[in-house]
Amino acid sequence: MKKTLQILFLIFLVTFSNKILLAEGFNSIHTSDGNFIIAAGDQGLTFRSANGGNTWAAYSEPSVNFKSVYTSGTKVWLSGDNGKIYLSSATSPALTPVTTGITTSINSIYFIDANTGFFCGDNGVLYKSVDGGTSWTSSSTGISNVKLNTVSFYNTSVGVAAGADGNVFVTDNGGSSWTSENISSTRNILNSKYLNDGIILAGEWGTLIYKNNGGSWSSINTKTNSDIRGISGTALNNIHICGGGGFIRNNTSGSSSYLNFEKNPMLADLVDIVYSGNKGFAVSRLNNAIIRTLDNGATWSLPSGTSVSYVWEAKPGASGNFLGNNLCLHPTDRNAVFIAFADQVYRSGNKGDAWTSIGSTIPSGNTPHSFFVSPIDTNIWMVAIQSSPDKVYRTSNYGATWTEVLSMNFSNYGQPLEMDQNDPHVFYFAPDNGGFYKSTDDGATFNEISGNYPFRSPCDILVKWDNSDVIFLADGITGSGQAKLFKSINKGVNWTLVHTASASEIPSMCSNRFAPETIWCTEWSGSNIYKSTDGGDTWNTNHSNSFSGWGSDICHEDPNMMITGSWSNKATLSLDKGLTWTDISSGLGGHGGGILIPEKGYILAHQGSNIYKLNISYSVLTGISENTVSSIASDYSLAQNYPNPFNPSTKISYSIPQSGNVSITIFNELGKEVITLVNGFKNAGSYEINFNASDLSSGIYFYRIQSGNYADTKKMLLVK
C-alpha cells in the first residue's frame, strides 16, 4: 500500500508552480526565538521553518489531530486529541509519541523550561512533567471535572488553567494545588497568558478578561462577536490578540480597548498568534498560509509564493425581486442570517450556504428595499416594500402575521428604512418628496420630525456608531447628475448638505464601530468611492473603479477591510482602509444590491435574484513533493531521474535501508548549491520526489544524496 508523506518548501528566492494538497489548516503555532517556528493542526499537519519563516517544510502524521504546540530552545512538544504527547526537536521532524495515561483530548501544552511543563485537556485533566515530557503525573488537585482549553505559567510556581463556562484556576505552588477564580463570566475561555504583571484570558464572543497582580478581574469591551483565540505578549500593556473574525489587534500605545488593528491579508479565521521580538506569526484553521510580520505588526504578509483566489458562489434557496440591502444578521446565533426576497423572508443557519423560507408572505408587495430583524427581540421584523403606494410592514411574531405601519411612496432604487444600531428600539424612514420619520417603539409607529425637510428621493440612511445624534442621508434622482449627502447632528431634526457628487445617486453608505469617524459612500452612475475621516464633514475621492458603485460594507470585525459592489456583477476589495484595491468580481451574476461582511472570511452579496458567498482559497507554490513508495528497502540507492532530459518536471527516487538523516541537494555546473530537496530524518524505505524546475535555466545539474556513510551523485539535464 502506498503511503504519502508530503513535504513543502516555500522558496524565498526561487518559487515553483506545482501544488500539493495538505490538511486544511492549523490549531496552534509557536516559536521561542523567532527563527525556528512550528505550526500544527489536524491530520497531524505540521509546518516547520528554521529561518524565521522565509521557507517552510510540511509534514503529516495522519493518525492524530494536533491541538497545541510549544517550543523551548531546540525542544518541541505537541499535544494530540488522542491523549498523547509527541516529542520532537528543531533539528529533526521525527516524532516520539508518549503515552500519558489518558485517552481524551489534550488541548494545551506549556513548558516553563526544557524540563518542566504542563498540559491540560477534557474532563479536568491537568498533568505535569519534570523530565522534558518523557513522563507525566496528574497535577489537578482543586480542579473540577470541566473541559480545560488552556494552561500557562509565568515561572515554576505560578500558573493559570482555564476552560469551559468561565472556569479558571490558579496555582502558586507549581501545580501541587489549584484554586478556583471567579471571573464573573460563563463564557468559554480559549486561551490564557500568565505574565510578569498579571493574567489575561481570551474566549468566545469577544471575551477578554485580565487581572493585575494583587488586583481583581476586569473585563474589556472588545466590541466583537467573534471568538478571541490567540494571545501573545510580554506584559498586560503589550498584548496582541487574534480571533475568528480574522483580526489582529493590540493594546500598545495606551489603547486599553485594543483598538489598534494590525493590517493583515488573511481572509479567514485566525486561531493562534505568537511573537518573538518584532517577529510575529499567525495561523488559521481554514488554510495553510502562515502570515508573518517583521515589524511588530505594522505590516503582515502571506508566505512567499502564495496566491489568493476570490470566487463568488451562488447559494440556493432564496430568490426573487429586491432592491437595496436586505441582509440582516441574527443577534445571538453567529451562523444565522436573514434576507427578504420578493414577498418572502428567508433564513440561513449555516452562514448563507443554504436558505429556507420562514414566516408568511409579506402583503401587497414584491420588491423589498430594506429589511431588519430586531436584535432585541427576533420576533420583530421591519420591511419597506414596493406596492401601490409603497408600504412599511412590521411583524412581532416571527412573520406569522404582518401589520401595515406606513403607506407612503419611497425611492424605487433606495433603502428608505434604517435602524439605529446604538438603540435598536429606534427606526428612521425617509420617503420621496421630503420629510424624515422616526419611531421609538420598535417600528410600531412613526412621526415626522424634520418639518418635512425637502429631500428629493432618499437612497440610504446611516446612523453614526456611538453617537445617535449624528445621522446621514443620501439623496439622488436617476438622471439628475447630482447626488447629495446630508448630515444631521440632532437626530434628524435639522440637516446640512455636506457632500455633492457629479452622479445621479449615492446608493450606499457604510461605517464601522471601531472607527466611527470614518464613513464611506458609493455613487451611481459614477465610479468613485468617497471617504470621510472627520465624521462626515468633509469628503474626498478615495478610489475610482472601472464600474459604477452600488452596495458596500466594512468588515464588522476589522475596519481595515471594505468591499464595494456595483449595479452589475462587479466588486472590489480593500484590506488596508482604501490604500489598495483588488478586483473580486469572479463568479458574480445579475445586478448588485447589498454586501454584508460579518467577518473577514464570511462575506455575502445580495445580487440579482440570488445570494452569493465569497470563497477565498490560498494556493502555496511549491517545487517539491515527496511520496513514500515503500517502507522496505534492501540497500542504499539513488536512481537516475526520469525523464531525463526533462522540462520542467522530473522524478527522483532513492532508498535507505536504515532510518536516519537524509539530505538531497541540487548543484549547477559550477558546483553552486541551487536547492535542497530533502534535509531531515527519514524512516527506512523507498521514496520518490517530484521536482519542478520551472524557474531554473536550461543546463546541466547534479543531485547528491547523503545518508550516514552513504553518498552518491548523478547528473540531469534541463532543456527548455
Q: Of 713, 682, 695, which Cα lies nearest the Cα of 93?
A: 682
Query: CA 612, CA 441: separation in Å to the nearest integer?
Result: 34
> 598 CB contacts (<8 Å, ≥6 apart)?
225, 245, 329, 334, 337, 351, 555, 556, 557
In the block, cell 494583587 appears at: 214
- Residue 4 three-state SS: coil
Domains within the chain, CATH numbers bracketed:
72-85+96-306 (2.130.10.10), 326-407 (2.20.25), 633-718 (2.60.40.2550)
Between CA 436 and CA 242 the distance in angstroms is 41
**Angstrom distances, CA of residue 273 to CA of 155, 227, 588:** 21, 14, 34
- Phi, psi angle pair for 364, to nearest 5°: 45, 45
What is the reported pLDDT for 249? 98
pLDDT score, position 9 = 32
d(CA 553, CA 575): 12
How long is the chain? Answer: 720
Q: What are phi and psi of 141, to 5 degrees?
A: -60, 125
- Terminal CA-CA length for the chain: 36
Residue 246 confidence (pLDDT)? 97
Predicted model pTM: 0.85
**Beta strands in 600-709, from DSSP E residues, in sequence order:** 602-607, 610-620, 624-630, 637-638, 649-656, 660-668, 673-682, 685-692, 699-707
Which of 494, 493, 499 is CA-nearest to residue 519? 499
What is the distance between the alpha carbons of residues 243 and 557, in angstroms, rounded to a whole number? 9
d(Cα 663, Cα 406) in Å, to the nearest integer? 77
Which residues of the chain are under the pLDDT cut of 70?
Answer: 1-23, 620-627, 694-695
pLDDT of residue 10: 32
CA distance 135 to 241: 33
Rounded to the nearest angstrom, the gap between the alpha carbon of residue 165 and the centroid of all alpha carbons in its chain is 24
Give the CB-side neighbour count of residue 601, counting CA atoms within 13 A.
23
Cell (9 digits) for 284? 488559521
The three grid cell numbers given for residue 331, joined into one nine-digit string: 443577534
Reduce the secondary structure of 481-495 to three states and give it as a string. CCEEEEEECCCCCCC
Mapping DSSP to helix (H, G, I), strand (E, B) and coil, where does residue 577 land?
coil
pLDDT at position 510 is 97
Burial class (CB in 10 A: 0-12, 13-18, 19+), 215: exposed
Q: What is the pLDDT of residue 3?
A: 28
Amino acid 5: pLDDT:
31
What is the number of other CB atoms lying within 10 angstroms of the CB of residue 442?
Answer: 18
For 182-194, b/e burial (b = at least 16 CB within 10 A) is ebebebbbbbbbb
Separation between Cα atoms, residue 124 and residue 165, nearest integer Å = 13
Helical H runs in 280-414? none
Largest separation between any pair of C-alpha atoms in the chain? 94
Dihedrals phi, psi of 505, to nearest 5 degrees? -145, 155
Which strands form 562-565's sheet, in the order they lie side by side? 552-554, 562-565, 571-574, 582-583
